[in-house]
Amino acid sequence: MGGKIPRSVLVVIHTTDLEVLLLERVDAPGFWQSVTGSCDSWDEPLAETAKREVLEETGLDCRDYRLTDWRQDNEYEIYERWRHRYPPGVTRNREHVFGLHLPKVLPIRLSPREHSRYEWLPWEMAANRCFSATNREAIFNLPRRVG
């Protein structure tokens, strides 16, 4: 099967003070999100996908911080504008949510082919800026996750 695998991760990167990292997509200016990415293979462990995507998109090594599996799955319809990346007929994706807890706001090294800018925002502002409903929901749940 060619194309992206419709199995992905969403990683909400946050500080102890509930500042949340958001990234603006290069291919969709104004679309802000947490770290996301698809599995490279059907048998790739989700935690490994999360670690790989965080390193690729931010330069942060998850081994230096606390990565937590939030044990939350979301299934959603893939936006029409990105369906061409998947095998023909694939219209839905299953996303698994993780949190990455950092002690403080840190500088980020963006992947220039994926993201144009980043911002650290208070959790409510970050949630309201996300274009994805599942990303917004994950951030709105952040205080409960870390509290």
Between vectors from CA 110 to CA 5 and to CA 99, what angle results, nearest 5°?
A: 60
> Does residue 1 lie in a domain region?
no
Give the pTM. 0.95
**What CATH number has the domain bearing residue 122?**
3.90.79.10
The beta-strand segments (E) located in the chain are 7-15, 19-25, 32-33, 35-38, 66-77, 92-102, 115-122
> Does residue 86 lie in a domain region?
yes
Domain total in the chain: 1
Q: What distance in Å separates the CA atoms of residue 3 and residue 7, rounded to the nearest whole number?
A: 12
> Does residue 2 lie in a domain region?
no
Q: What residues make up the domain containing 89?
A: 7-146
**One pLDDT digit (tens) per residue for the chain, 147 residues:** 479 999 999 999 999 999 999 999 999 999 999 999 999 999 999 999 999 999 999 999 999 999 999 999 999 999 998 899 999 999 999 999 999 999 999 999 999 999 999 999 999 999 999 999 999 999 999 999 987
Q: What is the CA radius of gyration of the chain?
A: 14
